[in-house]
Amino acid sequence: MINILDYGASGDGLTLNTGSFCKAIAAAKASGEAVLVPAGCFLTGTIDLQGVSLHLEKGAVIKGSPNREDYPIMPFHHNELGDLQALIVCLEGEDVIIDGDGVIDLNGSSFFDFSRPIIPESRVEMTQSQLEECTVEREWRPTQSIFFYKVKKLTMRDVTVLDAPCWTITVAECVNVKLTGMNIDTNLRVPNDDGIHISSCDDVIISGCNISSGDDCIAVSGITNWAKPCENLVISDCILRSCSKALVLGYIYSHVRNVAINNIIIKGSNRGLTFMCNDKGGLVENVRASNLLIDTRIQAGNWWGNGEPIFFMGVEHDSHIPPEQNPHRDTPANFRNITVQNAFCICENAAGAVGTGDNFENVLLRDITVQMKDSENLTLKGHTFDIAPSPCICEVPENTGVYVKSAGGLSLEKVRVLPFHGTEQKILVE
């Protein structure tokens, strides 16, 4: 391996090591070896891997610079986030590995002012504890943190990733991806700090990961290329905690298909397992999710979700996507051949689905138990489903544990809602 110390790196946590990483990567690329990061704290700006692997020894910390000038604009434009500025980047490559027992500290907190909460409209004045659940202000931040694009055979394993300023790990249009044994822990007040975002990829395994994030823990979409499906994924044995959606399939015009989800624990999230797409061309199909333990709570801030444990949303999106990005996908159904089974939900809002009447086909909820619990924040948001980015509002009738509205083609089998404070909770299909 090529040791960054041999190229002038200093692990004192103060010296900027961007140049040393660049030299070590060039040497590794020439020799076909990986780059070794030994014990120490190595402050750096953007690391362009150029298809080279990275190994972090125990005690090694790669720490992101707090300075904007250390994040140059890379040659990729993101459909939603714009110019690519990231800490670790790999644009194309083959057999790329980031592994080891070390830490990648993205230093995202340095880009935010935690004394300035972004306060959403509320029915009542917020308490101090509720204000501390709100997102916070920023002047600038890197638009991505760890970004892979068109990499063939990508592996990340065992590494701990901390404190993302924006999306933590983004994998876009890659093939043969394995993300295993990862520990991802970001600040719960930072908006858009998704744990893992998989976009338009093929053949993906996410397993044994523990993820805590302000935004989605695991998101599967086509956001970097609306025309290209994201397909053939296995997501298993993960523990997820999010102020937004813990695990979400689909978004706007995404096409997501062939997904197996198994043995997932969701803790204290604003929304649990989520399926969503624009009713004008989005599609999620061929999904099997089983063995789920889901705990949700309503977050006080302006996060997506209102405590729904399992939720399908197929309505018109207020997306603001330029017309040239619309793939004009002709699909009569937005959700097709999907089964969610063997789930126990402890939640502050109903499980449910909202559609347009006929955009569900062969969707089944089977062996689902819903147990409602008290909510400190229900008065802030009321009995509603959050169907953003649609501008519409969906009211949820009181004493309802499962609510299905305009979702013909969705079936319930062995679904039960336990009494709450001695009151029977309804399963309501409209």
In a domain, 361, yes or no: yes
In a domain, 332, yes or no: yes
Cα separation, 130 vs 300, whole angstroms: 5
**Which tokens in the block code for residue 152?**
């063939």
For residue 295, the cross-strand partners are: 346
Cα separation, 211 vs 171, whole angstroms: 16
Q: What is the largest CA-CA distance in the chain?
A: 70
In a domain, 119, yes or no: no
Q: Nearest-CA neighbor of 143 among 235, 40, 66, 73?
A: 73
Q: How much is the pLDDT for 387?
A: 92
In a domain, 21, yes or no: no
Are the beta carbons of 45 and 73 closer than 8 angstroms? no
Q: How much is the pLDDT for 5?
A: 98
Q: How much is the pLDDT for 199?
A: 98
Mind listing the pLDDT tens digit for each residue in 293-318?
Answer: 999 999 999 899 999 999 999 998 87
**Which tokens in the block code for residue 337?**
């051949």
For residue 180, the cross-strand partners are: 157, 207
Burial status of residue 428 (CB atoms within 10 A of its CB: 0-12, 13-18, 19 or more): middle
Cα separation, 238 vs 178, whole angstroms: 14
In a domain, 188, yes or no: no
Q: How much is the pLDDT for 124?
A: 80
In a domain, 365, yes or no: yes
Tally the domains of the chain.
1
Which portions of the chain are predicted below pLDDT 50?
none
In a domain, 92, yes or no: no
Q: How much is the pLDDT for 267?
A: 98
In a domain, 76, yes or no: no
Domain boundaries, position 219: 194-429
Q: Nearest-CA neighbor of 187 among 216, 213, 219?
A: 213
pTM of the model: 0.97
Mind listing the pLDDT tens digit for each residue in 150-200?
Answer: 999 999 999 999 999 999 999 999 999 999 999 999 999 999 999 999 999
